[in-house]
Chains A and B, each alone.
Chain A
Amino acid sequence: MDKTMAMPLYLIKKRRIKRFYLMITLFFVIIQLLWVGIPIFMAIMWSLVNPDDAWSYPNLIPPSFSLEQWRYVFNYTNIARALKTSYSIAPLAVILSFLLSLPTSYVLGRKDIPGKKVFMLVVLLPMIMPGMVVALFLSRVFNLMGLSQTFLGLVLAHTLMSMPYMIRVMTTSFASIPQDVIDAAENLGAGTFVKIKDIFLPMIRPGLIAGMIFAFTTSIEEFNLTFIIGTPTFETIPTILYSFMGYNFIRTNASVVSLLMMTPNIIMLFIVERFLKSDYLSASLGKM
């Protein structure tokens, strides 16, 4: 006897709905994989093109593979120096933007101050204005302050470009902390330090980590300001990438530099993902 015949109608419906959701999920997972995967796959393919055997229409994959494009980038660009500089600046810019954003975000997230909305908009300005416009104006300020061509200047420049992300995300985190948790802590005698350590920091942790990811990737990808105030003394990965991506776009070399820039970021995202799993805020609200 057919089992489904004996099955009640509501169960058959439930099974169909379940199957439908499964199909939809599968569809989006595949789309997502293609969306992210195809560009990465193409970058890998282009980075392995043999210069003596061009990859052209109608070949779907390169006719032969070679590491020559990688050798070219390492031999003929300052990529090693750029990697070192980029990964020296980014962590410092993240720490500095965290320290500078913390009080700002606290005030914006938890206090009612006049002109709060205007201030929020001003904070976002570096994100809204075109990068080269910000760079050209700021370079004058950096020149006047003697910060051009210095490592300190670059850290400050990257901090400035990272801060809007950090402030925005952390402000939302601060705003979401329930007042009754703070009141309860105060009733139990918690001082400012205890409140920061045991309530604010754990509860804003997901936001803080998200802000740090934004700040880190912004720093790693920052081109305009770095090029204007940093080169020739300092070169970062994007300053090399842009030589192959801009006017003189060369897919093979650009792919190599893109992969070099992308790989550490992806590894970092996976590491950070682990921290995001413990969510104090959700726990405090009983939603974990």
Chain B
Amino acid sequence: MSISEQERLARIRINAFLYFRADWLKRLIDIFGSAQEILKQDAQTLAQQAQMNPSTAAHFLRDAFAVNPQEELEKTQKYGGRILVPEDEDYPQSLRDIKEAPIALYVLGKLPPNKAYIGMVGTRKITAYGRRVANTLSTGLTQAGAVVVSGLARGIDSECHSAAVRLQKPTIAVIGTGIGRCYPPENRELARAILQHGGAIVSELPFNKPPHAFHFPRRNRIIAALSELVVVVEGEVKSGALITAKLALEMGKDVLAVPGPIDSPQSGGPNNLIKDGAGVVTTVKDIIDYIPSPQLFDLQMQETPQSQETDESLPPLQQKIMQFIATSEVSADQVVEEMGLSVQEAATALFELEVKGLLSCKAGLYSKSKF
């Protein structure tokens, strides 16, 4: 089943009305037969036929006619992207299956076919622990052949995407702005890298739509729908990550959570999920084991060497520093003072550990980058 070009343009128009859920728009299309028909109505008839408030109907038409669908298409194509509608073959089946399937889906890059999509979500206020976990899990999943789906936000999202990008493997970012924008702006480089390594950037919002608070819960349903299951790495008790988890549960998908320190606000969300029966993640294998039908995907669990083993190949001083840092965040000062080193010795050892990728330094504090 395919639709005419005219209908596609009309769909792009009605998709621009963000105050309706996608299933409402779908209902409108069903009532009138096609999006083109809807746009031929005046506000009065629209309101009557679809039993809407007349002012909402007027608003709907105003927003729909405010976009130039031709231009939306051209801009998207200029960036090598496409605007998919559910009737298109490439439109992801997993999205088509949900009640609120996006009327139009802007896709930059391409959605890797036949891969296990794993949603990984979490807080923007990332802790060193969250960074370590996100990095390790995302790296492991990507190496195993899965594709990590996240939201390109600050914190956990960025960590997950960049772990995949570092392996030069695809990852999917579902964003809360139009695909013509990047939010947060510092992730522009990351977005570019995602496309470069065969990943995709996906949004249902009009091309140049700026970020808005209500866009984000909406896009979370797309993350949940695309993914086989959702892993919550870190998140406050009330957070976007938990919205994604809730949506995934409603769609009948598994939600896994990474346990964290019980006194860390960022681990409140996942810890609560575990209490409510969510799967517990401590290794990459835990996630892979939860994939409903793993035989559909080409997954290869790689033996991830435990960090204790790699530590042994390090020179004694660096080993000691790694043991000293353990799971905490430590300043260079602490290394100097607690271990009785000179600044130069400490600097040399920390530099080498950082170059080896075992440590990362944020705001002057060193923590392990893997576990």
A and B pair up: no
Residues of B within 8 A of A (CB): none
